[in-house]
Structure 1
Amino acid sequence: MNVNEADEKMNTSNNDQIAPLLPTTLNSATGLNCLKTIDSLYIKQLPSMSEIIFGIASEAKFDIYSDNNVRILQALETSSFWQRFCCTTRRRFTLRIMDNNNQDVILMKRE
């Protein structure tokens, strides 16, 4: 499921729906449990082709790695083109941080 499909399924106007994003399983490879044994993180932004070729900002994608170079989380930004184009660093966005099972573990919003 991509970010846009998840956004359509989730009515974000109700804050009660946002809170329970942590997975209910106790598997150490899911959710934020993977951070318990890690000393440091490495975050790498994945540029899109439109950014590389045309210089047009697109929705940001990040891979988050452990200190031994294993991808443990990924982050996806959702924002409108006009927010990215006109407002740049002051734009509205939603950032979803997901584990390797594509389960949301953190949801951040800038309004």
Structure 2
Amino acid sequence: MRPVDFQLVLVIVPGLLLIDLVPTPASAESVPFSCMILPGEDAASILMTNSLARDASCIVTCKFSTTKYDNNPQITCAKPVPAGKEVEMCRLTSGGDRMVKLTEGHAECTK
């Protein structure tokens, strides 16, 4: 018996890359939102608008300062929102301290 020699030949054909076979990540877009301290200053309402042309999965985060040192309540809400609609995403309580101002916030919807 004679040993058999094998050669591996790699051929790359332009345009036949596997990139099209890998799912692309969903793209998120920033959308308008409002983090409002409610009367009484112990709760906040988190509103956002899906400004995209179709229904989307949306997420919004708001963080507030309070009158108490190192008490900075933060909330993140996520749910589906119809296209072009403004909705209340959720409410946040301060834990008994008076809310002073919004310190951070962002919102986005994924197509």
TM-score, normalised via structure 2 length: 0.30
By relative contact order (CA 8 Å, sep 6+), the higher-ranking structure is 2
Greater C-alpha radius of gyration: 2
TM-score, normalised via structure 1 length: 0.30
Higher share in strand: 2
